[in-house]
Structure 1
Amino acid sequence: MGGRWITALGGLALIGAAPAADRVTVVPVAIGGQSGRALPMHIEGRVERTADGDRRQWPGTYWEAAFQGAGVSLRVGEGDVILKVSVDGVPTATLVKPKPGNYAIDGLTSGRHVVRVDVASESQAGATVFGGLYATGMTRPLPAPTRAHRIELIGDSHTVGYGNTATTQDCTEAQVWATTDTAQGLPAVLARRFDADYQVNAISGRGVVRNYNGFAADTLPTAYPFVLFDKASRYAPAGWQPQLIVIALGTNDFSTPLHAGEPWATRDALHAAYQARYTAFVRQLRAQNPRAHILLWATDMASGEIADQAGRVAATLRAAGDRRVTFLPVPGLAFSGCHSHPSLADDQRIADRLATYVDAHPGLWAGR
C-alpha cells in the first residue's frame, strides 16, 4: 500500500491512498471539459433521477461501475457532501464539499477496473446531486457489479455513523458533519462481511414517535416512505427486496426526559405510543418484504429502557405469528464518538454482534 497524501485543488480537499501498482488521483477537469460516455452504474440508495444526475438525501448512497481501460471520470452536482472514491476496492480519494463539475480519475493502468463512489456524510439540510461515472478515451464499459445479498438498515444516528471518526466527544456542528462516515460505519462493515448490497434509511435525531429531546420534525416512520425528506415523491423501489432488514430505533424516543406540552403525560404513555407505532411500522415493512428477516437491535443506553421497549415490540410481533422478527441487545459500547455516539470501533462491535446472529441463521439469505 502506498502512502497517504493531502492535496488542495481549487478549494477541494483530496485525501487518498495509492494502490500498490498505480498512483491514482482524482482531479478537477477544466471547465468545459467533456465528461465522456456514461458508464452503466449499479446504484444503491434512494435517488431521484434528474437531468443533472441523481438527487439523493438518505445516507450511504453509492454508485459503482466496471470498465476496461484507463480513462474514467465522475461528475459532481450541487450540494455539500463528502464523497469517497475507491478503485478496485482500494480507497483512492475523499472529496470534501467538492465544487460542481467533472473530475478525472488519473493514474490507472489500462485494464479491467471497478470504481465506486460512496456518500460518507449526512445530508439532512438538503439533497445533493451526483452526476455519474463516464468512460473517456478508449475505455469501454463492462457490466456493473451486482451482489446476491441485500441488507436494509433503518435507524437514527447510530446507524448513520454520526461523528464516528471523531477523536473527541466534544464536537461542534461542523465537526459532527466532517467526522460522520457512513461508508466506514455499521452499514458498510456489516455489508462487507456478507458481500451484500445495502440501503441506509436513517436520520440522526429521529425516533419512532418522539425525536431527540422532543424537537419538532418528521419521525423516522413518517419520513421513511419518501425518496427525499421533502416528501414530494414516494419511494417505489424497482427490484429492491432485502433478505435482511436491520432496525435500531428508540434512542431518541427515550434518551431525554419528557417536557411539559409533549403529547405524553407520563413515561408509560410514551411507552405505549412507541410500542404501537413501532409495531405498526414493522408490519408495514413486512407487507412490503414478506420473506425478509427483520432484526431489531438496541444498546443498553437509558438504563436499559430502549432495549426493554424494542424487545417488547419484537415479542409482540412474534406472539402474533411473525417468526422472522428477532431482537438483539448490543451492550457494552464505548460511545467515544461525537456527543457520546458509537465510534468506528463500536460500529465494528455492533456489526460483529449482528453478524454472529446471521452466521447462525444462514437460511435467512433465502428470504429474497
Structure 2
Amino acid sequence: MKTILGLIAATLLATSAIAALPTVTPTTAKAGAPLPVHIGGRVERTADGFKRQWPGTYFEAAFRGPSALLSIGQGDVILRVSVDGTPAAKLVKPRPGLYRVAGLSNGRHTIRVDVASESQAAPTVFGGFYADRGTRALPAPARARQIEFIGDSHTVGYGNISTKRDCTQDEVWATTDTAQAMPALTARRYDADYQVNAISGRGIVRNYDGMAADTLPVAYPFTLFDKARRYADPAWHPRLFVIALGTNDFTTRLHPGEPWQTRDALHADYEAKYVAFVKAVRARNPGAHVVLWATDMADGEIASEVGKVAARLKAEGERNVAFVPVTGLAFTGCHAHPSTADDARITTALSTYIDAHPEIWTKK
C-alpha cells in the first residue's frame, strides 16, 4: 500500500510540476496596458521600447493573473525569460513581436528577461511588458543595493557556458551568458541591482593585440557604443564598484607602430590612466567601495600592475579601495576564458572582501 501511495503521490507531483511550467510563445494578441518595468543596465528609451547595448541588461515586472505579454524588438540577441525566479524559456535570435507568457496560476507573479548575449556590433531593443486578459499590474520589483561591474570579457562571461576552448565567433556568441557570469552571481548573493559595463577585448589603454577600437574608459561614459548620448540616471548610485581591466592591455606583445616603445612605457601609461579612471568613477559616488581584481594570467603581469594601481590610489588619498587577486581558475571557456565554474570561484573571492565590509551597504 505504501508503495502504491508513493507512486500516486510522485505521479501527482510530476503532473503538477509539468502543468505549472510556464510557456513563452509568439502571439498575435493585442497588448494591454504596459506594466511598470524595473531596468538593470543602461538603456535609451525609444518609441519601440528600450534600446540597449552594454551586456547583462535585465528587465522585470510584477503582475497578478495567469499570463502576461512581453515585446521583443529588433536585433540579434539571446534572452532568458524567468517567472518567479524559475527559468521559463531561452530565446535565441527571437523574431521581433509580442510573446505570451502563460500557464501560470491566477496569482501574483514576477517576470524577468535577462540579456545573455553580448551586443558589440549593434544595439538591440526590448519592447517591455504588457497586460494580457485577466492581468493586473503590480509595482515593479526594486532593490535597495546596487553594484556596478566594469571590465572586459572576463566580466561579460565570454564563452562561459562552452564545453570547449576552441570556438568559432558564432560559437562564442552562442555560449556567452552574462546572466550566468560573475556579476549576476555576485549581485544575486547580495540581493542587489547591478550594471555590467564591460566590453570583450577592451582595455585601459590598449585593446587585445593592439586592436583599433575605443578602450573601455573611452566608451564608458555613454549609453550606447555610438557615444551619441552620455549616460545619466539620478537613481543609479552604486555602493560598490567591481572593476577588472588589464587582461587585454598585457596578454599580447606590443607591435611596431603602437604608442609604447617598451613594456615599461605601457605599464606607466596603464597605471596613470587606470588611476584617473577610478577617480573619475568615484567622483560621482565618493562614498562607494572599489574592488579591483585580476587573474594570474600573463605570468602575473596583470595582477602586478593592478596591485600597483590600487596602492597608488591609496597613496593619493582614495579610501575604501581594495585589490583582490584571483587564482586557481581553469579557463575552460571559449579561447581560454573563465567558465561558469570559474565565475563562481571569482564570486567567492570577491565575496570575501564584501562580507568583511558590511558598511558598504549601510554608510552613506
The one-letter amino acid paired with 2:23 is T
Contact 2:34 2:131 in 1 (8 A): yes
Q: Using the alignment, how far apart are the partners of 1:185 and 1:140 within structure 2?
A: 33
Q: Distance in 2 between matches of 1:19 and 1:221?
A: 48
Following superposition, the deviation at residue 21 of structure 1 comes to 6.0
Moved more, 312-321 or 199-208: 312-321
1:78 aligns to 2:71 (yes or no): no
CA separation in 2, counterparts of 1:81 and 1:367? Answer: 38
Find out whether 1:293 has 2:308 as its counterpart. Answer: no
Q: Which aligned pairs between 1:50-129 and structure 2 lie closer than 5 A?
A: 50-129=46-125
Q: Which one-letter code corresponds to 1:53 in the other structure?
A: G
Does 2:20 align with 1:22?
yes
Q: 1:320 Cα shift?
A: 1.1
Report the Cα offset of residue 322 of structure 1.
1.1
Which residue of structure 2 aligns with residue 8 of structure 1? none
Q: Structure 2: how far apart are the matches of 1:213 and 1:283?
A: 27
> How far apart in 1 are the matches of 2:155 and 2:245?
9
Tell me the residue number matched to 2:249: 253
Separation in 2 of the partners of 1:21 and 1:351?
A: 35
**CA RMSD across the alignment:** 1.2
Determine the structure 2 residue equivalent to 1:236.
Answer: 232
What is the rounded CA distance, in whole Å, between the counterparts of 2:196 and 2:19 in structure 1? 33
Classify the secondary structure of the residue corresponding to 2:64.
strand
- For residue 175 of structure 2, what is the amino acid of its counterpart? T
Contact 1:19 1:90 in 2 (8 A): no
The offset of 1:195, in angstroms, is 0.7
Higher helix share: 2
Partner of 1:354: 350
Q: Deviations over 1:252-282 (max 9, x none)?
A: 0000000000000000000000001000000
- Aligned residue type for 2:21: R
1:139 CA displacement = 1.1
TM-score by length of 1: 0.93
Question: Tell me, which stretches of 5 or more residues in structure 2 are unaligned?
Answer: 1-9, 11-15
Q: Take 2:344 and 2:98, find their aligned partners in 1: how far apart are those partners?
A: 35
Query: 1:218 aligns to what?
Result: 214
1:346 match: secondary structure: helix
Match for 1:267 among 258, 263, 278? 263
Between the aligned partners of 1:20 and 1:211, the Cα distance in structure 2 is: 48
Structure 1 residue 72 displacement after superposition: 0.2
Q: How do residues 168-187 of structure 1 correspond to structure 2 at under 5 angstroms? A: 168-187=164-183
Equivalent position amino acid for 1:164 in 2: N
Percent of aligned pairs sharing the same letter: 66
User: 1:19–1:351: structure 2 CA closer, same or farther, 3 Å change rule?
Assistant: farther
Given that 1:76 and 1:129 are in contact with CA atoms closer than 8 Å, whether structure 2 keeps it comes out as: yes
Q: Determine helix, strand or coil for the equivalent of 2:351.
A: helix
Structure 2-normalised TM-score?
Answer: 0.95
**Total equivalences in the alignment:** 350
For residues 226 and 90 of structure 2, the distance between their equivalents in structure 1, rounded to whole angstroms, comes to: 28
- Preserved CA contact (<8 Å) 1:35 1:75: no
Long gaps (5+) in structure 1? 3-17
Report if the CA contact (8 A) 1:293-1:367 is conserved.
Answer: no
Distance in 2, Cα, partners of 1:214 & 1:89: 42
User: 8 Å contact 1:243–1:366 — kept in the other structure?
Assistant: no
CA distance in 2, matches of 1:52, 1:137: 22
Large movers: runs of 4+ above 2 Å: 18-21
Q: Does residue 324 of structure 2 align to residue 334 of structure 1?
A: no
Q: Which residue of 2 aligns with 1:281?
A: 277
Cα distance in 1 for residues equivalent to 2:17 and 2:259: 55
AA of the residue aligned to 2:184:
A
SS of the residue 2:322 aligns to:
strand
Distance 2:194 2:146 in 1: 6
Report the CA distance between 1:113 and its aligned residue. 0.2
Tell me, in whole angstroms, the C-alpha distance in 2 between the residues paired with 1:153 and 1:226.
15
**Cα deviation per residue 1:148-168 (whole Å; 9 max; x = unaligned)?**
111100000000000000000
Residue 160 of structure 1: which of 150, 156, 160 is its match? 156
